[in-house]
């Protein structure tokens, strides 16, 4: 199957123009006219992922997180990323990224997290200024309220978490839930403004945990843990739209964070 057909299918679902300005989505390595035999879906690109592609005879990586040859924060060349690109070129592996354009889909990354938690009546947490039907994060309602301690236990069980970080318990019933998969500290104030009882996201810094000020419970479940479900969402979409296309979820572990 031509790579151009696969990309059109993904772009129709999550147009690259919906990605955040800083992002690097779309075809990053390869040629549109490449004949694709199999695709591997992953959250990140690592040496192990490239090795896995070779072992299963796949020539397309569909990655959620993009490759940045130049670090957008420092403008320095990233030798690690450069090495991955050279490896993919040498082994004729194409690389396509679908990232914040999927985050900004109303049924995207955060919405899918909410589905796992059985959150009902989800709506967009932060609407796109130019298109109110799109935006990042979601907010919705649980079927029944829980006290904050029980909700933490529920979250760990539902998402198979060994650890999570949270702000001070506020002895409040949890029912209205805001979520933003990935780095979401910038959205704490939005969750408070929309009167959420709890905000689930990742990558909170030390001082972020002071922001709730008894108004909300914020929970950091981990960046990888908040997004890993999206691999299955991408797989299910491709299986539905291109049933005969061979694609699999990578087995290699890509989470760079380890716990002791």
Distance from C-alpha of 180 to C-alpha of 166, rounded to nearest angstrom: 15
85 shares its domain with 166? no
Q: Report if residue 256 sits inside a domain.
A: no
CATH number at residue 43: 3.40.1390.30
pTM of the model: 0.94
51 shares its domain with 121? no
Query: What tens digit of pLDDT does each residue of 130-173 get?
Result: 888 899 999 999 999 999 999 999 999 999 999 999 999 999 99
Beta bridge partners of 147: 173
Query: What tens digit of pLDDT does each residue of 171-224 get?
Result: 999 999 999 999 999 999 999 999 999 999 999 999 999 999 999 999 999 999
Residue 72: per-residue pLDDT: 65
211 shares its domain with 243? no
110 shares its domain with 195? yes
pLDDT at 74 over 80: no
Q: Report if residue 53 sits inside a domain.
A: yes
92 shares its domain with 135? no
Distance from C-alpha of 40 to C-alpha of 44, rounded to nearest angstrom: 11
75 shares its domain with 121? no
Q: Report if residue 68 sits inside a domain.
A: yes
108 shares its domain with 205? yes
Provide the number of structural domains found in the chain: 2
CA nearest to 169, candidates 189, 148, 150, 200:
148
Supply 128's token pair. 């796109």
89 shares its domain with 112? no
119 shares its domain with 81? no
Q: Report if residue 7 sits inside a domain.
A: yes
118 shares its domain with 202? yes
Supply 71's token pair. 């670090």
97 shares its domain with 7? yes
**Domain that includes residue 211, residue range:** 104-220
Beta bridge partners of 255: none
Q: Report if residue 259 sits inside a domain.
A: no
pLDDT at 69 over 80: no
108 shares its domain with 196? yes
């Amino acid at each position: 199957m031509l790579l151009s057909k696969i990309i059109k299918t993904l772009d129709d679902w999550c147009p690259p123009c919906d990605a955040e300005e800083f992002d690097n989505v779309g075809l990053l390595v390869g040629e549109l006219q490449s004949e694709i035999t199999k695709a591997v879906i992953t959250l990140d690109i690592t040496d192990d992922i490239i090795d896995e592609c070779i072992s299963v005879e796949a020539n397309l990586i569909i990655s959620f997180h993009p490759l940045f040859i130049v670090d957008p924060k420092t403008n320095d060349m990233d030798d690690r990323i450069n090495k991955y690109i050279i490896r993919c070129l040498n082994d004729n592996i194409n690389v396509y990224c679908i990232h914040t354009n999927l985050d900004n889909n109303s049924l995207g990354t955060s919405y899918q997290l909410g589905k796992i938690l059985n959150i009902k009546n989800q709506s967009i947490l932060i609407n796109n200024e130019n298109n109110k039907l799109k935006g990042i994060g979601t907010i919705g309602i649980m079927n029944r309220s829980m006290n904050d301690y029980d909700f933490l236990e529920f979250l760990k069980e539902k998402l198979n978490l060994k650890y999570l970080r949270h702000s001070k318990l506020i002895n409040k019933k949890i029912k209205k839930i805001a979520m933003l998969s990935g780095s979401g500290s910038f959205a704490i104030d939005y969750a408070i403004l929309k009167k959420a009882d709890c905000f689930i996201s990742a990558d909170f810094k030390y001082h972020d945990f002071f922001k709730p000020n008894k108004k909300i419970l914020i929970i950091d479940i981990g960046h990888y843990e908040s997004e890993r479900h999206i691999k299955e969402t991408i797989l299910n979409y491709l299986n539905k739209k291109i049933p005969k296309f061979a694609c699999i979820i990578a087995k290699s572990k890509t989470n760079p964070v380890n716990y002791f």
